[in-house]
Amino acid sequence: MGETTNDGAHMSAGIDLSQFFQVFFEEAGENLEQMERKLLALDVGAPDDEELNAIFRCAHSVKGGAATFGFSDVAELTHQMETLLDKLRRHELSPTAEMVDVLLQSGDALRAQLARHQGHGTVPIETADLLVSIRRMCEGPGADVAAPAMAPVAAKPAATAVAAAPAPAAPVKPVAAGARVLALTVGPLEDPSQADSLVELFREITDLGTIEPLDGGQAADGLRRFKITTTTADSELLDLCTFHVARESLRLESGGAGYGFFKGSPGAPAETAPAEPAKDLGYGFFDDAPGAPAHAASAPAAPVAPVPAAATPARPVVAAAAAPRAEKAAASPESSTLRVSVEKVDQLINLVGELVITQAMLAQNGKNVDSQLYQQLVSGLTDLERNTRDLQEAVMSIRMIPMSLVFNRFPRMLRDLAGKLGKKVEMVTQGEATELDKGLVEKITDPLTHLVRNSCDHGIEMPAERLARGKPESGTITLVASHQGGSIVIEVRDDGKGLNRDKLIKKARERGLDAPDTMSDQDVWGLIFAPGFSTADVVTDVSGRGVGMDVVKKNITALGGTVEIDSAEGYGMTVRVRLPLTLAIMDGMSVGVGEECYILPLASVVESFQVEPGMIKTIGGSGRVVEVRDEYMPVVDLERVFEVPRFDFEHVSNIMVVVEAEGGRVALLVDELLGQQQVVVKNLEANYRKVDDVSGATILGDGRVALILDIGSLVRRSRH
């Protein structure tokens, strides 16, 4: 590890910066997300100052971190964005839709860059076009920045004396040893933006060192000022610069004059990279300010006294052997949140699941204990049950994340999509704070994306058509999330043209589907979930190739959820997705068939009753139906479905449980109702193999395994 510096006292700065990378990545991700959200919400015509400030801060914050931690490409792009945003918040420029577009694209590029630094993908992200666009926008309307012509200098052997430039992806790049800090003043120029081509020059020739605009890209008095860190000789540097700016407009001075930067630690560990703001610009004290050291610099506008040259000997920030590791840093005493890996939480959930099973076993055995004799044991078991349930809820809540994480991606998508389609669409979200299990959130994102795209593509009409129908020009897509009982309900509503009953029926018949005129609306709308069904007159590249809604339905059903549609032609459509709150635990009803026990998801149970003679009617050979309050529904005999061995041949199952799924109902024939309980769902497919009509398994209180029935599958089976 590096030596301590001369000051002695508290010098052990051999800090491994990589320990902060993860926090930075997460923070940058959040900032980019926030920036995107705010950009999308920005009213270009009448921007809110506070919003502009907030957007600026997002870029600013990412830039600060990126520069500190050595992600030069990220810092470079955010720096440019920040320059533009700064002008916007200072009202030097007015925001335009193009600016928002470019800033959004830049956000995407930054995400890609950050992903790359995190080890996802190796291809460098091309941002040259974005940088040029932003820079041009910074110049304001009318200004025309000549595309930087680099060819003549690109091969110039200017930097032969300099150590080879490090690999571009390396996060920490040392500035070549012996680098000098220089101040370059450019101007006066007719077009001050000309000076920016110097930045390009340094980007092209990485060996040249670094250049940083000191004036935030603005000419104060017609002059532009840069700080250069380089090992190249002055004359050679000036030669190169004259390719872009006339010699008489260039003034090169050794570091510091007028700008309060110190000749920093020479060749010191720089986390900056070429073309990045160099880190050793310095610091300063206001003389006579409280607490300023005796040898403080003079007045701020005047040259600042240099720090003794020996301030910091060269010492690279080395990743290895940094003394105290990240744990210390991660657990800051002032922070109120803790980031934990999902694996740890899942492990906790599994353990709690096992505990629930053990508790259920104890509870079952406890039933046989004489409560008079073992009063304490019984009350202990009661406490255990309550505590286990509380613990389970608490642990499950760790995995709960707000729906806003899904909703937030839609405004951007919709904006791009509407732009492509020439439509005007606004997005409204409600209930973003509604929480859902993380696993479900991940799995519901794709189906929801599809629904939103569908609404935009097929639902919302073109602006002219909307106006002709007396609707507002701009369509609205509303996303609503809410808790209802043990489920979460997510609605995708649009105020578009809605579904056309006749068209759907006609289409269904063309496809050979059974579609009588007497079908209920609900059933007609359900047709769009049939495989290969698309009602779009024109297939666009956005959606509607006929795959989709059936896949959406399948995916949602696989999550234990349901989809319903409401529509009124001319007024729009609502797709309602209902999901269980979590996949790991389910409220179940256990039923007995022979020696076997099966679990029915409680959410799907409608009612149960005792079969009276004559209630069951046989139709068309083997099909049996039961009449319940004037409604006939198919009977599914679980004994037959699962081929339950039966030794008591006289026995006749006489309990019916009506269950509902996918808009259909069936009556299950069982021997007995065993009770209701929470079950820990174990994946059968992952542990064994896919079994028809079974969605999972659980371990009962007595240690037996019970299968959890897939009601949707049973309902489908009864339709055939």
For another protein, which residue of 323, 342, 369, 606 counts as binding (CB under 8 A)? 323
Assigned token pair, 235: 């004359």
Whichever of 317 and 591 has its CB closer to another protein, that residue is 317
Dist. CA 163–CA 422, nearest whole Å: 53
Contact status: 321 vs another protein (CB under 8 A) = no
Dist. CA 677–CA 680, nearest whole Å: 10
Q: Which stretch binds another protein (CB under 8 A): 296-304, 496-504, 607-615, 632-640?
A: 296-304
| Least separation in angstroms between CB 283 and another protein | 4
Chain residues 594-633 in contact with another protein, contact rule CB under 8 A: none
Dist. CA 70–CA 20, nearest whole Å: 11
| Least separation in angstroms between CB 260 and another protein | 6
Instruction: Give one word for 451, left, alpha or beta, with left for phi > 0 and alpha for psi -120 to 50.
Output: alpha
Q: Which stretch binds another protein (CB under 8 A): 54-62, 354-362, 440-448, 648-656?
A: 54-62
Distances (CA, A) of 178 to 17, 157, 233: 23, 19, 12
Contact status: 117 vs another protein (CB under 8 A) = no
Q: What stretch of H or E contains 362?
A: helix 342-366
For another protein, which residue of 202, 226, 285, 533 counts as binding (CB under 8 A)? 285
Whichever of 167 and 331 has its CB closer to another protein, that residue is 331
Chain residues 424-463 in contact with another protein, contact rule CB under 8 A: none
CA angle 264, 270, 274 (to 5 degrees): 105
Whichever of 63 and 423 has its CB closer to another protein, that residue is 63
Chain residues 326-355 in contact with another protein, contact rule CB under 8 A: 328-330, 332-335
For another protein, which residue of 166, 284, 594, 664 counts as binding (CB under 8 A)? 284
| Least separation in angstroms between CB 270 and another protein | 7
How many angstroms from the chain centroid is the CA of residue 376? Answer: 50
x/- map, 505-544, another protein, by CB under 8 A? ----------------------------------------
CA angle 713, 718, 720 (to 5 degrees): 105
Whichever of 263 and 553 has its CB closer to another protein, that residue is 263
Whichever of 149 and 220 has its CB closer to another protein, that residue is 220
**Dihedral (Cα; 351, 352, 356, 362), 10-degree rounding:** 60
Dist. CA 421–CA 407, nearest whole Å: 21
Residue 688, judged by CB atoms within 10 A of its CB (0-12, 13-18, 19+), counts as exposed
Dist. CA 543–CA 454, nearest whole Å: 6
Contact status: 291 vs another protein (CB under 8 A) = yes
The alpha-helical segments, DSSP class H, found in 167-208 are 196-204
- The answer to whether residues 211 and 199 touch, using CB atoms and an 8 Å cutoff, is yes
- Size of the residue set binding another protein (CB under 8 A): 75
Whichever of 243 and 286 has its CB closer to another protein, that residue is 286
Chain residues 214-273 in contact with another protein, contact rule CB under 8 A: 214-216, 259-261, 264-265, 268-272
Chain residues 67-86 in contact with another protein, contact rule CB under 8 A: 67-69, 75
Contact status: 301 vs another protein (CB under 8 A) = yes
Distances (CA, A) of 78 to 113, 125, 360: 11, 14, 56
Q: Which residues contact 211 (CB under 8 A, 6 or more apart)?
A: 184, 198, 199, 201, 202, 226, 227, 228, 229, 275
Q: Which stretch binds another protein (CB under 8 A): 295-303, 454-462, 549-557, 622-630?
A: 295-303
Cβ count within 10 A of residue 540: 14
Q: What stretch of H or E contains 631?
A: strand 631-637
Contact status: 317 vs another protein (CB under 8 A) = yes
Contact status: 320 vs another protein (CB under 8 A) = no
Chain residues 26-45 in contact with another protein, contact rule CB under 8 A: 26-27
For another protein, which residue of 40, 252, 286, 408 counts as binding (CB under 8 A)? 286
